[in-house]
């Protein structure tokens, strides 16, 4: 019998699907909600997990603030066991050009951060203590790490949401991605502070899954880049913090359920190890700017 619910965004494939699989295997009391953009792929994921009585796929379009804010109502209407965990996992990378969400926000920032911000605004009130929120970030947010990715560039959340057009410089989609991963940490730490840093029964942790060759993150890459991501990069798994989606999914699920993490809040994990994130990720002025701008952007659309 299921007695508690976990919501996982982007759970129809890759890291999110493997997190769901591990969570279902950990304890029969969990009911897992796959919050997915494509209902058909969500149904296929439920079938893949082979636990149809313990899985529900619900629509969530993180590129739509109305969809993200209204998800809490869809979850309530599903009449599932009390909500005890949320895993903010979904993400994308737009390598070239500028794409916008339906709300006119730059797509990488809009999906990787702002959609999850709007989602959590609705879900916090439904969390039943003890509860856990886990935010998936990336080691690429940290300039001190050698990742092959450009360093993040956080000037203001308003600029990230509505980048100025610059005819002399093509947009750097990879830098937008690493900056969004910095935003994930700024958001997680600020959410933790606003929820009492675990004292009120809700803990917030962050997670770096490492490099996961073959994952869906490369879906917008060029054909040659996709080939390398799928068939060449997996050979790098012998290196530190290069993992399969299954391994990282197990570790991510542990942050949502394992008693070893009871009461742990405000921490950042690289795999199974708690580490310090980048210096910039602890900047409370930037966290406040991100939070207040995000509130304004969401309220403008959903009021």
pLDDT tens per residue across span 22-64: 999 999 999 999 999 999 999 999 999 999 999 999 999 999 9
Q: What is residue 228's DSSP assignment?
A: I
What is the C-alpha separation between 294 and 48, in angstroms, rounded? Answer: 35
Q: Are strands 55-59 and 83-88 parallel, antiparallel or unpaired?
A: unpaired
Which pLDDT value is given to residue 264? 98
Which pLDDT value is given to residue 115? 98
Contacts of 181 (CB under 8 A, 6+ apart): 112, 137, 138, 140, 141, 152
**How many domains, the chain?**
1
Contacts of 303 (CB under 8 A, 6+ apart): none
Which pLDDT value is given to residue 278? 98
Which pLDDT value is given to residue 302? 79
Which pLDDT value is given to residue 217? 55
Which pLDDT value is given to residue 299? 96
Instruction: With a cut of 50, list the residues of the chain below it in pLDDT.
Output: 167, 218, 221, 224-239
Which pLDDT value is given to residue 54? 98
**Are the C-beta atoms of residues 215 and 226 closer than 8 Å to each other?**
no
What is the C-alpha separation between 107 and 94, in angstroms, rounded? Answer: 8
Q: Which residues does the annotation mark as catalytic?
A: 177
The values of phi and psi at residue 184, to 5°, are -55, -40
Instruction: Residue 137: give the domain boundaries.
Output: 4-302
Which pLDDT value is given to residue 224? 47
**Are the C-beta atoms of residues 218 and 174 closer than 8 Å to each other?**
no
What is the C-alpha separation between 261 and 216, in angstroms, rounded? Answer: 28
pTM for the full predicted model: 0.91
Q: For residue 25, give the CATH number of its domain.
A: 3.40.50.720
Which pLDDT value is given to residue 266? 98
Neighbours of 287 (CB within 10 A): 21
């Amino acid at each position: 019998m299921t007695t508690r619910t976990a919501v996982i965004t982007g759970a129809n494939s890759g890291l999110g699907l493997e997190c769901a699989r591990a969570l279902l295997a950990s304890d029969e009391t969990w009911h897992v909600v796959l919050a997915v953009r494509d209902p058909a792929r969500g149904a296929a994921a439920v079938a893949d997990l082979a636990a149809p009585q313990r899985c529900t796929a619900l629509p969530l379009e993180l590129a739509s603030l109305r969809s993200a804010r209204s998800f809490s109502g869809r979850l309530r209407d599903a009449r599932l066991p009390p909500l005890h965990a949320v895993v903010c996992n979904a993400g994308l990378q737009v390598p070239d050009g500028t794409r916008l969400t339906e709300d006119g926000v730059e797509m990488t920032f809009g999906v990787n951060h702002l959609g999850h911000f709007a989602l959590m605004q609705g879900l916090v009130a439904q969390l039943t203590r003890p509860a856990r929120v886990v935010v998936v970030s990336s080691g690429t947010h940290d300039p001190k790490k050698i990742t092959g990715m450009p360093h993040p560039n956080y000037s203001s959340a308003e600029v990230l949401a509505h980048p100025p057009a610059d005819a002399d410089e093509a947009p750097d989609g990879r830098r937008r991605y690493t900056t969004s991963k910095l935003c994930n940490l700024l958001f997680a730490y600020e959410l933790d502070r606003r929820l009492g840093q675990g004292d009120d029964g809700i803990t917030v942790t962050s997670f770096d899954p490492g490099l996961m060759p073959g994952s869906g993150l490369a879906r917008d890459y060029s054909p040659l880049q996709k080939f390398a991501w799928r068939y060449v990069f997996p050979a790098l798994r012998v290196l530190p913090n290069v993992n399969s989606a299954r391994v990282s999914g197990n570790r991510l699920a542990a942050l949502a359920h394992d008693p070893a993490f009871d009461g742990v809040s405000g921490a950042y994990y690289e795999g199974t190890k708690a580490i310090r994130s980048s210096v910039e990720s602890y900047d409370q002025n930037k966290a406040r700017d991100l939070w207040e701008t995000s509130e304004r952007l969401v309220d403008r659309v959903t009021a």
